[in-house]
Amino acid sequence: MNNRVITSIIVALCCMPVASFAWGPDGHQSVGAIAATLIAGTKAEKKVNSLLEESSLEQVSIWADCVKGISPEKDFTYTSAGKYPECAPFETTAGIAAMAAYVRQNQNNCNAAFDQESCHKQYHYADIAIEHDHYKTGYVGTSDHDIVHAIGSAILVLQGKPQAKPFQFKDQREALMLLTHYVGDLHQPLHVGSIFLNSDGKIVNPDDGQYDRGSNTVGGNALQCPCGNMHALWDDVPAQFKKGRMNQMLSTKAKGVAKTKGALDAWPALWADEAIMNARIVFKDTHFSKSSPNQRGNNWSVALPLEYEKTMYKVKEEALVNAGAHLAQLLQAIWPE
């Protein structure tokens, strides 16, 4: 294939519409729907129903993203009204008050560094260098309030135990809404595995010697394809999976996912390890330009290999299936028969 064809494929790939939320609402909703199918008829289903009342796991799966519409700079008012259809169920007076209360409690509780976003936004990810085989607290990109710890804390709340610091989850209902979301995010490879680059676009390991904050690609947010950023490209689900079109097929596959081994509290880190392995596939045969700084830090252009769309489809399908299965496993382990 000549270069022009290759370029046009890359442009076409990167111009696919991308959602502004992690996984996009469709991905999170699929994860909630798959888990709901898998726990049907169990004690876990009864507990979920009693906590969520009239709502479903599918509906509440995006609450953790909807709360980002609360603006601390504007006295914690909700600034996204009507913007995201999937957030509509939470846009009642009581619903907005609950979102604002959550953001107030989880805004500055983690002592965020000057260049980091609000604490509750950091609960959605960890940016670990893909040179590592395993998630380990202490690596650059991890923290006591990263996604692995956030899931751990939500589990504690649902088990009726004291939650971990610095999290401020109000009650079991809130913890369940957050858990449903974070388990989805944990399976999006670029929410866990990241790449660090020097100014020449060469891969560096931030845990090897002095860490240069400028080498952080922020889970692919600092990597630009011709029409957008790499993180958003991976947040979007394939068109076939939109609006839950394939939930039945995904649920059938999810039923075949092996039960995670070991103790429940070690599961989130094991799934993070799988996400790091998938992030290696995300970056296989990619090429990076030299960096060019913008207002938010360094930026690099990324060239993607041929057939990248196929790779994305495969990885994303497996991630959604595993996320749904793993969420169901967690819920059943928290509330065994």
CA separation for the pair 219, 233 (Å, rounded):
12
Q: Write down the residue that tokens 């980002």 correspond to.
A: 68
> Residue 124 interacts with Zn ion (CB under 5 A)?
yes
- Minimal distance in Å, beta carbon 237 to Zn ion? 14
- Minimal distance in Å, beta carbon 277 to Zn ion? 20
Per the omega criterion (within 30 degrees of 0), is the bond before 166 cis? yes
> How many amino acids of this chain bind Zn ion (CB under 5 A)?
3
CB atoms closer than 10 angstroms to residue 49: 15
CB nearer to Zn ion: pick between 185 and 274: 185
CB nearer to Zn ion: pick between 120 and 124: 124
- Minimal distance in Å, beta carbon 190 to Zn ion? 11
CA separation for the pair 140, 144 (Å, rounded):
12
User: 3-class secondary structure for 293-320?
Assistant: EECCEEEEEEECCCCHHHHHHHHHHHHH
> Residue 58 interacts with Zn ion (CB under 5 A)?
no
Q: Write down the residue that tokens 């990324």 correspond to.
A: 302
- Minimal distance in Å, beta carbon 142 to Zn ion? 17
- Minimal distance in Å, beta carbon 48 to Zn ion? 20
Residue span binding Zn ion (CB under 5 A) among the ranges 44-52, 124-132, 148-156, 168-176: 124-132
Instruction: Tell me, residue by residue from 236 to 255, as one string, x for binding to Zn ion by CB under 5 A and - for no binding.
Output: --------------------
Considering only the C-alpha atoms of the chain, give the largest distance between any 2 of them, rounded to a whole number of Å: 60
Residue span binding Zn ion (CB under 5 A) among the ranges 117-125, 228-236, 281-289, 291-299: 117-125
Instruction: Tell me, residue by residue from 268 to 287, as one string, x for binding to Zn ion by CB under 5 A and - for no binding.
Output: --------------------
**Cβ(4)–Cβ(221) below 8 Å:** no
Integer CA distances (angstroms), 321 to 8, 46, 104, 254, 257, in order: 31, 22, 34, 5, 8
- Minimal distance in Å, beta carbon 227 to Zn ion? 22
> Residue 185 interacts with Zn ion (CB under 5 A)?
yes
CB nearer to Zn ion: pick between 22 and 237: 22
- Minimal distance in Å, beta carbon 65 to Zn ion? 5
Q: What angle do CA 335, 336, 337 make, to 5 degrees?
A: 120
Given the rule CB under 5 A, which residues bind Zn ion? Answer: 22, 124, 185
